[in-house]
Copies of this chain bind each other. A is one copy, B any other.
Amino acid sequence: MTLHDTEPSQSDDAARAGWLYYVAGLTQDQIARELGVSRQRAQRLVSRAMAEGLIHVRIEHPIAACLELEQALSDRFGLIRARVSPGLGPGADAVRAIAPAAAQELERFLAMPDPLVIALGTGRALRGMVDAMTTMDAPQHSLVSMIGNIAPDGSASFFDVIMRIADKVRAPHYPMPMPVISSTLEEFAAFTALAPIARVRDLAARADVIFVGVGQMGDDAPLLADGFITRAELSALQARGAVGEVAGWVYDASGAYLETPGSTRNGGVPILPRMARPAIGVAAGPSKVAAIRAALGAGILNGIVTDESTARAILAQR
């Protein structure tokens, strides 16, 4: 699917039906009459509007319990920024819960007047964040990827986050057109020797703001699922105390980066800890608690967007 649906009337109708349903508050029966279609079709249009992410819902009310958790996180880890969304209950997708809040945080930076270099990681959480963003004009900023966009399987899924944001805000964007992990040191050197790539890497290294997801290093670690490391390598890393990973860089419970099989060939730019510029993590879920705690404790991240239960779990261990 292209970013702009080629069939205008299709998703146009869906948007209109969604509008009538969610904003106007009509019943699907009324919508059907309004648009001159069958009731079932109206229902399908409405649910399609929701499925395609045309409908954005935000809640305009700071829930007291979440505010307290934000405060507690900030105090405990000395954060610049903490956002806690209400949880979605067990079993639900945590990304859904934090996406709107994360989008709002990013929009805060995008709304700033002075040009910023905004570096972005990848992953489901960031993808959710982008989908929840509103379109806005922010051409003064630069968007740069912290991570290569050529996956081991050749997929371009890593491309998505930065391209989609750029599309929504019309800002200049710099994906990093090299393998996430080069297969040899020679290949790595060949890519990084290219001036345009060197420039992107340089831009990412001096970003003014960073948004990244946080990966866990359990037995179903994303690094394994995406084919960046083998199961044996994962086991070795676990044995060495790996608890989390940010933009492909693995760290242990103290937040110290570990050498990994691919780290000398990782095209991405690591986040240096304890810097002044905001480095915001977007992550939630029980499996990520240890990873997030370590990243916050070591100052790899100095801001976090998460959900209620994750926040509680992060704070639980004293």
Cross-chain contact B63 with A16 (CB below 8 angstroms): yes
A57-B60 contact given A1-B315, A97-B23, CB 8 Å threshold? no
Chain B contacts of A11 at CB under 8 A?
Answer: 61
Copies in the complex: 2
Chain B contacts of A57 at CB under 8 A?
Answer: 22-23, 55-57
Cross-chain contact A92 with B56 (CB below 8 angstroms): no
Closest CB in chain B relative to A14 CB, distance in Å: 8
Residues 5-62 of A at the B interface (beta carbon under 8 Å): 6, 8-9, 11-12, 15-16, 18-20, 22-26, 30, 34, 49, 53-61
Chain B contacts of A34 at CB under 8 A?
Answer: 89
Instruction: Tell me if A135 counts as interface (CB < 8 A to partner B).
Output: yes
Q: Among B18, B22, B100, B113, point to the contact of A113 (Cβ < 8 A).
A: B113
Instruction: Tell me if A186 counts as interface (CB < 8 A to partner B).
Output: no
Docked CA distance A111–B169 (Å): 14
Cross-chain contact A72 with B113 (CB below 8 angstroms): no
Cross-chain contact A59 with B23 (CB below 8 angstroms): yes
A59-B69 contact given A113-B114, A114-B113, A316-B1, CB 8 Å threshold? no
Residues 55-86 of A at the B interface (beta carbon under 8 Å): 55-61, 63-65, 68-69, 72, 85-86
Closest CB in chain B relative to A21 CB, distance in Å: 10
CB-nearest residue of chain B relative to A3? B68
Residues 93-134 of A at the B interface (beta carbon under 8 Å): 96-97, 100, 104, 108, 111-114, 134
Docked CA distance A60–B167 (Å): 13
Instruction: Tell me if A221 counts as interface (CB < 8 A to partner B).
Output: no
Cross-chain contact A64 with B20 (CB below 8 angstroms): no
Chain B contacts of A9 at CB under 8 A?
Answer: 64
Cross-chain contact B113 with A20 (CB below 8 angstroms): no
Instruction: Tell me if A253 counts as interface (CB < 8 A to partner B).
Output: no
Most chain B CB atoms below 10 A, which of A16, A55, A68, A100:
A16
Cross-chain contact B55 with A20 (CB below 8 angstroms): no
A135-B60 contact given A26-B89, A26-B92, A89-B24, CB 8 Å threshold? yes
Cross-chain contact B3 with A72 (CB below 8 angstroms): yes
Known: A12-B63, A19-B59. 8 other contacts (CB 8 A): A2-B72, A19-B86, A22-B57, A49-B61, A54-B59, A54-B60, A56-B57, A113-B114
Write the residues of chain A forming the contact surface with B, with a CB cutoff of 8 angstroms. 1-3, 6, 8-9, 11-12, 15-16, 18-20, 22-26, 30, 34, 49, 53-61, 63-65, 68-69, 72, 85-86, 88-89, 92, 96-97, 100, 104, 108, 111-114, 134-136, 312, 315-316
Please list the 3 inter-chain residue pairs (A to B) with the smallest Cβ-Cβ separation, ordered nearest first: A113-B113, A15-B61, A24-B88
